[in-house]
Structure 1
Amino acid sequence: MTTPRILIVPGWRNSGPGHWQSLWAEQFAGVERVDQDDWITPSRAAWTASISHAILARRGPVVVVAHSLGCIATTHLPPEAVERIQGALLVAPADPERRAVLSDFAPVPYARLPYRSVLVASSNDPYCPVRLAGAYARAWGSELVRMPDAGHINIASGHGDWPLGLALLASLTGRALAPKEEGATAA
């Protein structure tokens, strides 16, 4: 079986220095990050095109590690990209109906995802009520991991390296991430 690439899909306004997504991309081999042309005024078409391009740019399966609006963008991907996804870790999904700037991502698809997914939600996420995150998990067929009082599961809520996230990712890939070799760059 081919080892899947890990594709980091940040949310609205990107995941800056110190965010667990940024740390994972810096520290681990086989981890790539999707960049967007506009992190401030996101367009669903542009974001899904960037994510799709990253998925299809290389052969082999992909495990998506999405945060916030990145989770919602992942659910909007076209079939040719979805076919390559082996699994997804969907962390602190956004509610695009709560902020006008994110409304291009509404309505959120409520169809079962054709790959294994784990959705991590916080009981006090300011960007998505836990009830809505639970509804996403049920609709998408995702395993739900509910974290008490974890905020938006980002740097502001104290989640740097985030070991629990690494363990959840390992449950999707069947292996722990390998550290990058000294002097190596992202794939």
Structure 2
Amino acid sequence: MKRLSRILSAAGLAMGLALTAVPADAQQKNAPAAPAATPLKPGSPAAIAAAKEILTMKNAAAMYANAVPNLVEQTKNVLLQSNLNYQKDLNEVAVIVAKNLAGREKEIGEGMAQVYANEFTEQELKDLVTFYKSPLGQKLLAAEPRAIQFSMSYMNQWAQAFAETINGQFRAEMKKRGKDI
């Protein structure tokens, strides 16, 4: 029963996320293709600089600061699954690989700046920098992470409760068919 509840909770969350995306999708019928399908155009140096300033103000680097060690660890763990007898070697090699690739996470920041430069004009980026330096912009920078955290928590709670509603409807419909589940 717990497993079913977890599955339903996950399904509810997925459905909740899908439903929240529907209005945005409907509004963006003529939106460009997914980022992976669309190559980034090089932004002007001023646009890239403004984008980097925005990302710095938003502390975006915190999102990817541990990307390299985390990916090294994930890769090591995958390799360990089929090479258990090499555990000692793979642990030692992971340290070497992490050292060799240290700093490469900065590529993410460069890419993010390029994305911003593709999504906003140079003037819009400059206006955003000005906004984020304003009192309201500073308040947004300070309060937004907490607001997002609370929003995600609310969405998860909602999805869990909604999954129970879905579970109840499934049970009711199955009961109508003479099948208790």
TM range (shorter): under 0.3
The structure with higher relative contact order (CA 8 Å, sep 6+) is 2
Q: Which one has the largest radius of gyration?
A: 2
Q: Which has the higher strand share?
A: 1
Name the TM-score, length of structure 2 as normaliser: 0.23
Q: Which has the higher helix share?
A: 2
Name the TM-score, length of structure 1 as normaliser: 0.23
